[in-house]
Amino acid sequence: MNLKDCHNFEDFRKLAKKKLPSPIFHYIDGGSDDETTLRRNTESFSDCDLVPNILASVGKPDLSTTLFGKKIEMPIFLSPAAMQRLYHHEGDLASARAAEKFGIFYSMSSVGNDTIEEVSEISKGPKLFQLYVHKDRSISDDLIDRSRNSGFDAMCLTVDTLVAGNREKDHRTGFTTPPKLTLQSLMSFAMRPQWVFNYLTTKKFELANIKNKTDKGTNIAQSVIDYINEQYDPAMSWKDAEYCVKKWNGPFALKGVMSVEDAKKAIDIGCTAIIISNHGGRQLDGSRSPFDQIQAIREAVGDKLEIILDGGVRRGTHVLKAIAAGATACSFGKMFLFSLAAGGQQGVEHLLQNMHDEINRNMVLMGCKNLKELNSSKLIYRK
Amino acid sequence: MNLKDCHNYSDFRKLAKKKLPSPIFHYIDGAADDEITYQRNTSAFDDVDLVPNVLRGVENVDLSTTIFGKKLDLPFYLAPTALQKLFHYDGERAVGKAAQKFNTMFGVSALATVSVEEIASLIDTPKMFQFYFHKDRGLNDAVMERVKAAKFDVMALTVDTITGGNRERDLRTGFTSPPKLTLSSLFSFATKPMWGINYLTRGKFELPHLQDHVGEGTSTATSVGNYFSTMLDQSMNWKDAENLCSKWGGHFALKGIMSVDDAKRAVDIGCTGIMVSNHGGRQLDGSRAPFDQLAEIVDAVGDKLDVICEGGIHRGTHMLKALSLGAKACSGGRLYLYALAAAGQAGVERAVNQYRLELERDMKLMGCNKISELNRNNLRFRRT
């Protein structure tokens, strides 16, 4: 199996599974507790159906939209994801280049393995930085300043990770970063010599953006769960979020909003967008899926916020349904990480091409010339 | 596989399966008829989703709740279950001590294998006694007096076992108590020698609350279903329950209430709590799941007595959902029995601690600092 056999999510997932040592594959693939929310995120799209209009003389549909003040070529982008060098030795540089090529946002995680400056060096495309509020506030301040100086276009603050979710697959596989070899995991690393070779012979694994501020996650093998619980501030409040909005002073999103009440508060503190997300089912299991919740939030906030739906998106039709239900755009993490693991930059480009083709084809089949024509009248929920 | 590999309910279940002779494992694991209610008890939680609130500042989470006038450090407790020495030689001693360690309530069954006096001397945290209404009124009175003398805090009358449920796994495995060896079960006992050695050498198996009154359950091998059907008084009615309630004169609960009407009558006869329960799916198969029925009951009587949701709980998030609907606390039997079978007191402590950590983490992720902040705004039911 190789990249050209990858036609959909499941194919990329399979290829990633072949290429990655199992603790690393399962770190991407797993959710929290019983993974009910992880499954529901995708299943929820099946509770409603698309209703096409025919003979609409569509021609070539316009897939572009505006997000965070930037024109993007299609209504999807790459979610911020931590530690991409674990999945492919080119890490963030590969995903940033692929995103630029397709004219969509690339997002950088606070816990990336490349620096803000390195990425802005290699990509002129639209860029989003994802912020965690650390107990040491000077870390967050520093990240905001550097993102601005490096020409990032937008900032998002993750608010659903005050404490790490219970990712039981990681307990079992013994996932730590940097990877530590245990007897259990040794076999799975030994069977993927290519991954090990690349990992060891390319740039050193480090949490590049914060390495001067903390040695956590760089020298010491530590699980992500411990990192979150030690470094992030569970006392983070609306005041802290407002402080970040003001300090950034540009397009700003809260990532991980699920309740209508919180969406309204996001407007009050000056956010321009929210990302409806349950962190890909990796945090609170039993949490509502973004697609189940999006209509209520769109109704409540009107056009005062851009809304990004993050979680469970695997198909062009999922994107269409999300937009019809009120999303401005969709983002996805797992799907692009599998493609990154499967083939680096080329893998991500292959995925984005697939998604572009699916969205384009489905717009034609729906009889829609542009994304504005995709509204709630195109959806019928099953009873 | 050992205790440190147990991260959740199903891990404990697996380890218990390894440790227990199969008739005993299936006695815990099984339920009535086709086990439809048993499965629904858990899957009911999947029909509703949690909606968290963010940026609430949740450094310190308080999980305490007050039921039956007692403050517990956790919003769940260990429900009364029968015959615990069959599962681990320390039986109720192990479970009681684990409950005390986390300051939550421990329920002692009328079919317990350790006496209320011994439990009372072992732990000073809140205790509940679970009462069966026997045909023999002398037995009923004697048990009531002993529990009172042992200063238990709550009396719970079980009202859903008027006859034994059809537990077909027990029919197949030949489960009796004390265990009787049949040809088919011999093999499974023989392959778990540690269980056999402990069972035979760690003190006699007996039912201390009943042994002076009945032969059943002590030296004569009988099935639990048979015990319910022959020993318990099927004519038990609301008058009997009311008499017991006033005879007890303290916090009194009915265990196994499912209808709104019955919940209201429980208030009328002076109960201070009810357990919404179908006996873990072990009695009437096809019965509604406690979580499905909870909202109606809370709406009707939630301000008049403590409503406890019992059955199907495997996770901290399940508890959060029940508490959000208005339950005062949750409880469960299998919740800790697999852990007891897996490793005695250490097993129960590990299980209770995991639920505690799950609750604490999930409360933070929900944006809640204390249990009373959970309410129905946190929940959205899916389109049906």
pLDDT for B183: 67
Give the nearest chain A residue to B56 (CA atoms): A237
CB A197 within 8 A of CB A64: no
Specify whether B279 is catalytic. yes
A311 contact partners, CB below 8 Å, separation of at least 6: A41, A276, A277, A278, A279, A280, A281, A289, A290, A291, A332
pLDDT for A172: 81
pLDDT for B36: 95
- Average pLDDT rounded to a whole number, residues B250-276: 97
CB A76 within 8 A of CB A329: yes
Mutate to test the interface with B, among A163, A237, A383 (most CBs of B within 10 A): A163
The pLDDT of residue B152 is above 60: yes
Pairs of residues, one from chain A and one from chain B, whose beta carbons lie less than 8 Å apart: 104
Answer yes or no: is the ipTM higher than 0.95. no
- Of A278, A273, A259, A254, the C-alpha closest to A333 is A278
**If you ran DSSP here, which 8-state letter would residue B200 be given?**
H
Task: At B220, give phi and psi (nearest 5°).
Answer: -80, 130
- Average pLDDT rounded to a whole number, residues B311-318: 97
The pLDDT of residue B184 is above 80: no
- Average pLDDT rounded to a whole number, residues A113-135: 94
CA dist list (Å): A89 to A185, A323, B258: 20, 34, 58
Mutate to test the interface with A, among B3, B5, B49, B50 (most CBs of A within 10 A): B49
Strands A70-72 and A65-67: antiparallel
Alpha helices in chain A (DSSP H): 9-19, 22-29, 36-43, 91-101, 116-122, 137-149, 168-173, 183-190, 193-201, 224-231, 238-248, 260-268, 290-301, 316-324, 334-366
What's B303-321 look like in SS3?
CCCEEEEECCCCCHHHHHH
Q: How confident is the model at residue A216 (pLDDT cuts 50, 70, 90)?
A: low
CA dist A245 and B117 (Å) reads 63
CA dist list (Å): A148 to A155, A157, A207, A249, A251: 9, 15, 19, 10, 11
Q: How confident is the model at residue A106 (pLDDT cuts 50, 70, 90)?
A: very high
Cβ neighbours of B261 (radius 10 Å): 10
Tokens of B254: 């009915």
Q: How confident is the model at residue B51 (pLDDT cuts 50, 70, 90)?
A: very high
Using a CB-CB distance cutoff of 8 angstroms, which residues of chain A are in contact with residue B362? 284, 286
Is A237's CB within 8 Å of B320's CB?
A: no
**DSSP-derived secondary structure for B50-110:** E-----B--SS-B--EEETTEEESSSEEEEEES-GGGT-TTHHHHHHHHHHHTT--EEEET
Could you give the percent of chain B with pLDDT greater than 70? 97
CA dist A313 and B154 (Å) reads 51
CB A281 within 8 A of CB A163: no
Exposed, middle or buried, A16 (CB in 10 Å: 0-12/13-18/19+)?
buried
C-alpha angle with apex A164: A161 to A168, nearest 5 degrees?
A: 140
Q: How confident is the model at residue A353 (pLDDT cuts 50, 70, 90)?
A: very high
Q: How confident is the model at residue A182 (pLDDT cuts 50, 70, 90)?
A: low
- Of B77, B327, B54, B295, the C-alpha closest to A287 is B54
Task: At A305, give phi and psi (nearest 5°).
Answer: -135, 145
Q: How confident is the model at residue A221 (pLDDT cuts 50, 70, 90)?
A: low
CB A3 within 8 A of CB A11: no
Is A236's CB within 8 Å of B46's CB?
A: no
Is B315's CB within 8 Å of A286's CB?
A: yes
- Report chain A's C-alpha Rg in angstroms: 20
pLDDT for B216: 54
Of A34, A235, A284, the CB nearest to B52: A284
User: Taking phi first (over 0 means left), then psi (-120 to 50 degrees means alpha), and beta for anything else, what does residue A26 get?
Assistant: alpha
Using the structure block, give the residue that is written with the tokens 């260990």.
B78
pLDDT for B47: 95
Is A235's CB within 8 Å of B49's CB?
A: no
pLDDT for B220: 56
**If you ran DSSP here, which 8-state letter would residue A288 be given?**
P
CA dist A37 and A280 (Å) reads 8
The pLDDT of residue B217 is above 60: no
Highest mean pLDDT among A340-344, B162-166, B199-203, B233-237: A340-344
Of A159, A171, A293, the CB nearest to B54: A159
Cβ neighbours of B192 (radius 10 Å): 18
- Average pLDDT rounded to a whole number, residues B366-379: 96
Query: What architecture (CATH level 2) is domain B3-379?
Result: Alpha-Beta Barrel (3.20)
Q: How confident is the model at residue B292 (pLDDT cuts 50, 70, 90)?
A: very high
Task: At A232, give phi and psi (nearest 5°).
Answer: -85, 150
- Average pLDDT rounded to a whole number, residues B304-308: 98
Using a CB-CB distance cutoff of 8 angstroms, which residues of chain B are in contact with residue A234? 57-59, 364
- Average pLDDT rounded to a whole number, residues B100-122: 96
CA dist A235 and A213 (Å) reads 20
Please give the residue that has the higher pLDDT: either B215 or A260.
Answer: A260
pLDDT for B196: 82
Q: How confident is the model at residue B201 (pLDDT cuts 50, 70, 90)?
A: confident
Catalytic residue among B88, B209, B279, B318: B279
CA dist A164 and A106 (Å) reads 24
Is A288's CB within 8 Å of B51's CB?
A: yes
CB B179 within 8 A of CB B21: yes
pLDDT for A253: 98
Mutate to test the interface with A, among B55, B375, B379 (most CBs of A within 10 A): B55
Is A258's CB within 8 Å of B315's CB?
A: no
Please give the residue that has the higher pLDDT: either B369 or A133.
Answer: B369
CB A288 within 8 A of CB A311: no
CB A368 within 8 A of CB A62: no
- B164-B318-B25-B1 Cα dihedral, nearest 10 degrees: 180
In this predicted model, what pLDDT tens digit does every residue of A244-300 receive, in sequence order? Answer: 999 999 999 999 999 999 999 999 999 999 999 999 999 999 999 999 999 999 999
- Average pLDDT rounded to a whole number, residues B62-79: 98
Catalytic residue among A26, A88, A134, A279: A279
Helix B22-29 and helix B183-190, axial crossing angle in degrees, nearest 10: 100
Q: Which amino acid is at B221?
A: A
Is A286's CB within 8 Å of B383's CB?
A: no
In this predicted model, what pLDDT tens digit does every residue of B129-138 receive, in sequence order? Answer: 999 999 998 9
Highest mean pLDDT among A96-105, A205-214, B179-188: A96-105
Of B361, B377, B382, the CB nearest to A166: B361
CA dist list (Å): B86 to B113, B133, B195: 9, 23, 9
CA distance A56 to chain B (A): 32
Instruction: List residues in chain B touching A: CB distance below 8 A.
Output: 5, 7-8, 45-46, 49-59, 314-315, 317-318, 320-321, 358, 361-362, 364-366, 377, 380, 382-384
pLDDT for B212: 79
Using a CB-CB distance cutoff of 8 angstroms, which residues of chain B are in contact with residue A36? 46
pLDDT for A218: 54
CB A274 within 8 A of CB A251: no
Using a CB-CB distance cutoff of 8 angstroms, which residues of chain A are in contact with residue B7? 168, 171-172
In this predicted model, what pLDDT tens digit does every residue of B338-354 receive, in sequence order? Answer: 999 999 999 999 999 99
CA dist B327 and B372 (Å) reads 11
- Of B269, B30, B312, B38, the C-alpha closest to B159 is B269
The pLDDT of residue A181 is above 70: no
Strand partners, A129: A108, A155
The pLDDT of residue A71 is above 70: yes
pLDDT for A197: 83
The pLDDT of residue B215 is above 70: no
Whether the link from the prior residue into A178 is cis, omega within 30° of 0, is yes
Q: Which helix (H) or strand (E) holds B143?
A: helix B137-149
Q: How confident is the model at residue B192 (pLDDT cuts 50, 70, 90)?
A: confident
The pLDDT of residue A177 is above 80: no
Of B8, B50, B377, the CB nearest to A286: B50
Is B59's CB within 8 Å of A36's CB?
A: no
pTM, two decimals, is 0.90
Is B52's CB within 8 Å of A240's CB?
A: no
Using a CB-CB distance cutoff of 8 angstroms, which residues of chain B are in contact with residue A166? 358, 361
Mean pLDDT over all residues of chain A? 92
CA distance A368 to chain B (A): 28
Is A287's CB within 8 Å of B50's CB?
A: yes
CA dist B107 and B119 (Å) reads 10
B259 contact partners, CB below 8 Å, separation of at least 6: none
- Average pLDDT rounded to a whole number, residues B278-295: 96
Domain-wise residue ranges, chain A: 3-369
- Of A164, A202, A184, the C-alpha closest to A87 is A202
Query: What architecture (CATH level 2) is domain A3-369?
Result: Alpha-Beta Barrel (3.20)
Of A241, A258, A293, the CB nearest to B55: A241
